[in-house]
Amino acid sequence: MSLKYGLLGLLVEEPLHGYEVKNRFEAMLGGTWEVNIGQVYTTLQRLERDGLVRPAGERGDRGKLLYEVSDAGRKALNEWLAQPESGPQELREDIYVKLLLAARVANGNLGPLLSRQKRAYLQRLRDLNQLEARAKKEGRTDLARLVRGALLHTEADIKWIDELSETGISGESK
Amino acid sequence: MDRRAFRNGHLWGVEVTELVRLTDITKVYQGGMTGALNGVSMAVEEGEFTAVMGPSGSGKSTLLNLIAGLDQPTTGSVMVGGSDLGKMGEAPLARFRRDSIGFVFQFFHLLPNLTVLENVLIPAQLKGTAGAEARGRDLLEQLRIAEVADRYPANLSGGQQQRVAIARALINQPSLLLADEPTGALDTRSGDQVMELLMQLHASGQTILLVTHDAKLATRHAARVISVMDGRIVDDARLESPERAPSEVIRVRSEEAL
């Protein structure tokens, strides 16, 4: 998830101060990402350096500066939006490596680990379901969409655990 | 929790907390049909909303049919509301199914030549309850399908038909509502409404056992998820429901090089 393009995209809607764009970015992500204001200013400065945004007018009261998107910024954003995500699949959670290692050191007896992990995933699904219901009730469409994505991912993780439980990933993978 | 007394006559007016108990159930099908059970024990308490989750052929529907008295185990006992279903004769068993169990299926099984209200009233007429029609209309109102009471099933959407089936399942105020993939034939929106309805019923005290292959569905409202695989219970998870902040549930962030 890109802070750079996130800020750029929000500035396309209208010129904003650093604090405003931070707040809108956090609101769009429904509280799943709290951004450091320093990081926002650094990002805006780099966007300015690269000619993608520019200050709109002079510093206002309390030294606040409005930023607006340049033509180059609009173009860069459109290209980014049109670009499919084609990089490698990211498997960042520990569980992926944990299961491989456990298969080696536990002589393939992964039963307890798999069932504990499945419970954790079920609890996660429940938390996500509740968050989705809350987001929908409060009309927070962006958050509801994000949660839906997370629900489907967790469902896939459960399917993986179920497959491993059925077939076992014992010594033969060594 | 609303602890309603079991209504099959044996325990009229007596408060029980355990509604269902399966002990060492096996179910063997001739010819190696799928859905067999192999050593299943479990209990369900009154007021619980429990999901039984497993892939197709795992035995989860068999489990439900045994609890409903629609099928008999090869060995083991099925107790519902303190009665041993295996020791009941055919007639008491039929009464038990009619009075104590509400069953909702993936397909709605409505009679096409009867109106919505008539479909809902069938179990009540078999029982011979007075005032059934008023209760039927109340239920249709509650399920927000009052306006289609006099229409025929063929003229309803899938979601409406399933709500009619739920009303029919509830007409005799069953102790236990069994739902076997109740959203399986519905689009997402109608499915969501049906699940919402089950949650409201549960909130008003209804004991519900939901069978599904879908983990998202199983965890949506049920606080307990029993996983079934190859005819065995492999997990029985009780889930927590605290209100968590979005950032405790999802993290959208990657370290970024600018």
Judge whether A105 and A97 are in contact, CB under 8 Å: no
Identify the helix (H) or strand (E) that includes residue A117. helix A111-137
Nearest to B241 among A31, A130, A155 (CB): A130
Helix (H), strand (E), coil (C) string for chain B: CCCCCCCCCCCCCCCCCEEEEEEEEEECCHHHCCCCEEEEEEEEECCCEEEEECCCCCCHHHHHHHHCCCCCCCEEEEEECCEEHHHCCHHHHHHHHHHHEEEECCCCCCCCCCCHHHHHHHHHHHHCCCCHHHHHHHHHHHCCCHHHCCCCHHHCCHHHHHHHHHHHHHCCCCCEEEEECCCCCCCHHHHHHHHHHHHHHHHCCCEEEEEECCHHHHHHHCCEEEEEECCEEEEEEECCCCCCCHHHHCCCCCCCCC
Residue A2 has pLDDT above 90, yes or no: no
Task: Say which of A34, A43, A125 has its CB closest to residue B215.
Answer: A125
The four Cα atoms B82, B83, B84, B88 give a dihedral, to 10 degrees, of: 180
Interface of B with A in 44-83 (CB under 8 A): 55
| Token pair listed for B74 | 């090869």
Q: Please, which residues have CB within 8 angstroms of residue A23's CB and are 6 or more apart in sequence?
A: none
Q: State which H helix or E strand residue A12 sits in.
A: helix A3-13
Q: What is the mean pLDDT of residues A102-110?
A: 79
Chain-chain contact of A119 with B237 (C-beta, under 8 angstroms): yes
* Cross-chain residue pair B249–A29, CB shorter than 8 Å: no
Instruction: Give the separation between CA B104 and CA B180, rounded to whole angstroms.
Output: 6
- Residues from chain A contacting residue B252 (CB–CB below 8 Å): 1, 29, 32-33, 146
CA distance A34 to chain B (A): 8
Cα B80 to Cα B96: distance, rounded to the nearest angstrom: 9
Delimit the domains of chain B by residue range: 10-257
**Worst-scoring range by mean pLDDT, A46-50, A58-62, B22-26?**
A58-62
Looking at per-residue confidence, does A163 or A72 come out higher? A72
Cβ neighbours of B227 in A, within 8 Å: 118
pLDDT of residue B19: 95
> Cβ contacts of residue B228 below 8 Å, gap of 6+?
B40, B52, B53, B54, B58, B59, B60, B63, B234
Distance between CA atoms of A61 and B226, rounded to whole angstroms? 61
CATH class of B10-257: alpha beta
Average pLDDT over all residues of chain A: 90
At B170, the amino acid letter reads: L
From chain A, pick out residues whose CB is under 8 angstroms from the CB of B244. Answer: 127, 130-131
Higher pLDDT, A98 or A173: A98
What are the residue ranges in chain B where pLDDT is below 70? 1-16, 254-258
Please work out, in degrees rounded to the nearest 5, the angle formed at the alpha carbon of residue B114 by the alpha carbons of B110 and B115: 95
Please report the pLDDT score of residue B255 as a whole number.
52
Q: Tell me the pLDDT tens digit for each residue of B54-67.
A: 998 999 999 999 99
> Residue A143: which of B239, B246, B258 has the nearest Cβ?
B246
Please give the model's pTM, rounded to 2 decimal places: 0.86
For the segment A130-154, the average pLDDT, to the nearest whole number, is 95
pLDDT at A60: 64
